[in-house]
Structure formats: structure tokens, C-alpha cells
Amino acid sequence: LTQSTEGLDKAVLKNADGTTAEVYLHGGHVTSWVSGSKKEELLFVSEKAIFKPPKAIRGGIPVCFPQFSDFGPLGQHGFARNQLWAVDTLEESLDGATLTLLLRSGQEELQKWPHKFELRMRVQIATNGNLVVQPSVKNIGIEDFTFTFALHTYFAVSDISNVEVTGVQGLEYLESLVTPRRKEKEERSAVDFKGEVDRIYLNTPDELRIVDRGNRTITLKKTGLPDAIVWNPWIEKAKATADLGDEEYHQFVCVEAAVVGDPVTLQPGQTWTAQQVLSVS
């Protein structure tokens, strides 16, 4: 554990081949993953990101829990990304370190959402440089609860005009640019970006690709997270977002592994687990 330049606690994970990842205790938030043959930064964090709790960090992998977006009575994307998490376990081996962060329902959380839970984020760099993130939620109360969840990953790209997200052909999606959201069917084999895109693809394949033409391809493999949001704010929304530079929409795409369409219900004592593996080629 070290302190960031902003004075927040963060952990730096490293493996033998020079792959690194950084995780902030604030938000249980992964902010950096440097990997691949070129050891490049593969996650985007805004130059205007505000590292001041309870503000969520703009970029990296915000954790949306217990609510994705406005799918419920809570604030946008729930509150896990706004809270200070604790270190649960740190396992060190020759291959590198695995960090598990924990957010437990305390007084503050219970005021927002009256359900007793433990939310964990296990973050590991695999020997091949992949970034493995395993969220889990345990019901430690005496009544059922229901939640939606997303790993709101911001991928760094050379320019959004070079980007395609593949794996979406034939899927149903919720168009979030209209109110109320409208269900549509994707006819194309890939999503491209010529304006704002904000869609919730339902029951997607477990493997999606973020193709940055002429640069690299990120493969996102997921389990327990059936849906995927694809988002780029484009010009107007970038301007309207205080902690995002006006031109920064060029530099990222969000592909968010999620469970939204069919929320998760946990009985007392039950645990939900999911996984996202990112690889680069």
C-alpha cells in the first residue's frame, strides 16, 4: 500500500514481467493496468478526475453497486464507488500479488440502502499479464435483497474513431439515449462511434472485443455478468461533465460488464460471484 499524490491510499500490484495495476481503496477502484508487449496503460483516467471522496474517480473501473444507472431509487450507479473500502486480504506469491478489497454495510451504507452486505473486489494480475477482477456480494442480513451491478470499465483508445466493439450482432439492447429507454435489436456485427452511444446490450456473449484499429485489441471475458453497456459521451455530454475534459471523449470507450436486465436476488447467507478477465493483443 502507498499513498497517491492526492493523499489517498492505493495498492500497486506487479508481476514478474512488468505488468502493473493500481487499485484505490476509495471506491474499490482499479485506476491503472499497464500490460501487453509494449507495457502500455490500457485504462483511461481523466486529466480532470477528482480524487476527493466521496466523488467517484472518472476513469478506470468504477464499481456500480447496488444499482446500475437509474435502475432503482438510489443515486446514479449506487454508492460503492463513493465509499472508502478496506483491505480484506493480500495474497503474495511468486507470480505476483492478489488484493481483495471489502466494502461492508456500515451505518452510512445502511442509511442509503437498508440491507446488510459484504461486497468484495478481488484484483489480480495473472502470469500472462491479464487483469482478473472478481467481484462478489454476500448477504449477511436476515432478509433477501436484490441488486444490479456493473464494472464500469473505461478503456484507453488511440482515438474513438478507430474503435469498434464486437460481439453484439443480433442482440437486444436498451437504447438509453431516449426516455424511457427503448428496446431495439442490433443488426450490425460491431458498434462504432460517430456520436453519443449509450446502450445496454442484454445477454451478450461472454467474450467481447474492443478493437482499436491499427493499435490493439482488448478481449473482455466475463462470467456472471450477462449484460454489457457500451458508452461514449461524445461532444456535448463531455462538455457537460465537469470532471471530464472537453476533448477527452476521443480517448476512451466504456464497455461495462453488468447484470442489469435480470437483477440478482440473494437469500440470507448467499453469495453472488462474477469475473471479468481483460487481455490485450
Conformational region of residue 79, where left means phi above 0, alpha means psi within -120 to 50, and beta covers everything else: alpha
Distance CA 195, CA 239 (A): 14
One-letter amino acid at 263 equals P
Q: Kindly state the number of chain residues that form the binding site for ligand BG6, as judged by CB under 6 A.
A: 9
Q: In the annotation, is 256 catalytic?
A: yes
232 binds ligand BG6 (CB under 6 A): no
Cα–Cα distance for residue pair 32/24, rounded to 1 Å: 10
Should residue 82 be labelled a site residue for ligand BG6 when binding is judged by CB under 6 A?
A: no
Position 176 contacts ligand BG6 (CB under 6 A): yes
Rank residues 248 and 256 by Cβ distance to ligand BG6 and give the closer one.
Answer: 256
Residue 216: C-alpha distances to residues 95, 156, 232 (Å): 25, 11, 19
In the list 15, 31, 67, 69, the residue contacting ligand BG6 (rule: CB under 6 A) is 69
Taking the C-alpha atoms of residue 157 and residue 213, their distance in angstroms, rounded to an integer, is: 9
Of the candidate spans 69-77, 93-101, 165-173, 273-281, the one that interacts with ligand BG6 by CB under 6 A turns out to be 69-77
User: CA 134, 222, 201, 70: dihedral to nearest 10 degrees?
Assistant: 0
Can residue 275 be called a binding residue for ligand BG6 (CB under 6 A)? Answer: no
Count Cβ neighbours within 10 Å for each residue of 89-102 and write b for 16 or more, e otherwise. Answer: eeeeeeebbbbbbb
Given the residues 26, 29, 77, 152, select the one marked as catalytic: 152
Q: Is 76 in the site for ligand BG6 (CB under 6 A)?
A: yes
Taking CB under 6 A as the criterion, the residue among 78, 256, 257, 277 binding ligand BG6 is 256
Under rule CB under 6 A, residue 46 binds ligand BG6:
no
C-alpha 268/C-alpha 57 separation (Å) is: 32
Does position 231 bind ligand BG6 by CB under 6 A? yes
Is residue 152 flagged as an active site residue?
A: yes
Q: For ligand BG6, which is the closer residue by CB, 137 or 174?
A: 174
Q: Which residues bind ligand BG6 (CB under 6 A)?
A: 69, 76-77, 152, 176, 198, 229, 231, 256
Q: Which residues are catalytic?
A: 152, 256
